[in-house]
Amino acid sequence: MKILSKKIWLKAKKVIPGGNGLLSKRPERFSNSSWPIYFSKAKGVEIWDLNKIKYTDMSIMGIGTSTLGYRNDQIDKRVKKSINKGINTTLNSLDEYLLAKEMLKHDKFADKVKFARGGGEAMSIAIRIARAKNKFSKIAFSGYHGWQDWYIAANLENNKNLNNHLLKNLTPMGIPKELRGTIVPFKFNNFNELSNLTKKEDFSAIVIECGRYNYLSKNFIQKINQLCIKKKICLIVDEITTGWRETNGGLYKKLGIKPDIAVYGKSLGNGYAISAIVGKEKYMKYGNRTFISSTAWTENIGFNAGLAVIDFFVKNNVSEHLIQMGNLIRKGWEISAKKNGIKLEIGGLKTIPSFQFKYTKNNEKIYTFFTDMMLKEKYLATNSIYLSYQHKKKHVQKYLFTLDKVFKKINHLVKNKKKLDKIKTRKFNY
C-alpha cells in the first residue's frame, strides 16, 4: 500500500511546531504538492522515499552537510567503531583533543579550538567570546548566522533588516527588546557601509560569510582585514556553509581573509553533528573565562566524524572534484538556457552553483514548475546544488539532459498564460 507522506506531514505538524526542526527541509519550500518529504534510506547521491521510490539528489544534499555523499563508508566505519567503544562517558574523549590538533593543522592562524554540535550554537559561542574580550555589545554582520537571539535581534530595529541576508520575514518575536541595536547589518561586500558603522560606534566583532551567491571581492577583503587590525575588532568568518568544501578548511584561506575566529559546521561531520570554533589565543582564552559548556559537546560521534572527514578530504582531493562538477553544471545550465530561451542568471559558489530565473511576477511559479517536473524524472532539484564527492560526471550529464527537457517545457509554459495561472506555488518564505 502506498504511504501518503503528505498525510504524515500534516499529522507531524500537529505534534512538532512547523512539522520538523529545520525550515530548509520543509516540503512547502520546494513544491506545492509533490515533494517526497520523508526518506527511508539514502546512499551516495540517492535518496529513497517512504514508498521506496529512488531520487537523485541534485539539490541541497542534507542542506550542505553531506559533502562526501550520504552514508559514506569511510566516515561511517570510523563512527561505528567509536560507537562500539562508548559515546558519552564520565571520562573524556581523546578524539576531542585529536580533532582539535587536526583542525589546527589546517587553520594555521589559530591556536585553540572549541567544539559544539550545531552551527548556530557555534556562532553564539564565537560572539560570546568576542564580546567577552572586546567588551562592547555591538556586532556588525552580513550574511546568515543561525537562529539565536544575538542574530535575530537585528530585526528588532527594523523587521526587514535580515531580509537580504538569506531568510526573509523572520520575526524577532521572543527576543528581548533590550537587545535592540546590539547587532547591525551591512550589505554583503559593501565596505563603505561597514566603515561608516565603525566610525560611529565601537564593535566587538564583525561577522561575515566568505560568499553565498558570489564571493567577497579582493577590495572588500583587503579593507576589512585592515579595519579589524586597526580597530582591534574581532573578525569572525562564518564557514558553516563554505568550510571544508572548496578547500581543506575555510574558504577564507583561498580569499586571503585574516580572521581572528573561524566557525565550522555542516561539512565537518558529513551529516553527523559537529561544529567548531577555531581562533587566536587572545580570543579563545575567553572561551573558558566566560562560561560556555554543554553535555552533548563531549560525545564521541561528532569528533570521530570530523576526524574521518578531514582524513577523507586530504587523501581524495575532494575540493578539486567539487569544483570540476560545479564548472560542468554551470556550463550545462548556460547552454541549456540559451538553447531554450530561458531567462536565467547563473551564480553561486564554485562548489554550490545556483541559478535564478528572471521572470519577475511569474518567477515563483516557474521555480515550482521546475522542481515538480524534475521530480517527475526522479530528481530532487532546486535552483542550487550543494555538490558532493559522490556527484560524478555521469550524474551531472544525466541531470543536465533531464534539465534540458524541463527547460524546454518552461519555454512553452511561459507562453501559456492559462497553464501558468493554474500553478500553485511553493511557499518559500518563513
**145 forms part of the interface with ligand PLP (CB under 6 A):** yes
- The DSSP line for 129-149 is HHHHHH----EEE-S---SSH
Q: Per CB under 6 A, which of residues 68..97 are in contact with ligand PLP?
A: none
218-231 and 191-200 helices, crossing angle to 10°: 10
* Closest C-alpha to 235, from 180, 188, 279, 189: 279
Q: Which stretch binds ligand PLP (CB under 6 A): 49-57, 114-122, 345-353, 398-406?
A: 114-122
Nearer to ligand PLP, 145 or 391 (CB): 145
One of 123, 205, 261, 328 touching ligand PLP (CB under 6 A) = 123
One of 240, 342, 381, 410 touching ligand PLP (CB under 6 A) = 240
Please say whether the beta carbons of 190 and 147 come within 8 A.
Answer: no
Sheet holding 112-116, edge to edge: 112-116, 275-279, 261-264, 234-238, 205-208, 139-141, 183-185
Nearer to ligand PLP, 63 or 323 (CB): 63
Q: Is 262 helix (H, G, I), strand (E, B) or coil?
A: strand
One of 46, 95, 209, 299 touching ligand PLP (CB under 6 A) = 209
Nearer to ligand PLP, 253 or 395 (CB): 253
Separation CA 40–CA 31 (nearest Å): 20
Contact string (CB under 6 A) for ligand PLP, positions 293-332, x = contact: ----------------------------------------
Q: Which stretch binds ligand PLP (CB under 6 A): 42-50, 238-246, 337-345, 373-381?
A: 238-246
One of 36, 62, 69, 146 touching ligand PLP (CB under 6 A) = 146
Nearer to ligand PLP, 328 or 349 (CB): 349
**265 forms part of the interface with ligand PLP (CB under 6 A):** yes
Separation CA 414–CA 420 (nearest Å): 7
Nearer to ligand PLP, 212 or 395 (CB): 212
Nearer to ligand PLP, 5 or 65 (CB): 65
One of 119, 211, 287, 348 touching ligand PLP (CB under 6 A) = 119
Separation CA 306–CA 267 (nearest Å): 9
Separation CA 409–CA 238 (nearest Å): 39
Q: Per CB under 6 A, which of residues 124..143 are in contact with ligand PLP?
A: 143
In the complex, least distance from residue 189 CB atom to ligand PLP, rounded to whole angstroms: 15
**19 forms part of the interface with ligand PLP (CB under 6 A):** no
* Closest C-alpha to 75, from 328, 427, 415, 390: 390
**118 forms part of the interface with ligand PLP (CB under 6 A):** yes
Q: Where are the alpha helices (DSSP H) in 317-416?
A: 318-340, 363-376, 393-413
Separation CA 307–CA 78 (nearest Å): 9
Sheet holding 46-49, edge to edge: 39-43, 46-49, 54-58, 379-381
Separation CA 45–CA 388 (nearest Å): 8
In the complex, least distance from residue 274 CB atom to ligand PLP, rounded to whole angstroms: 10
Size of the site for ligand PLP (CB under 6 A): 13
Binding residues (CB under 6 A) for ligand PLP: these are: 118-120, 123, 143-146, 209, 238, 240-241, 265
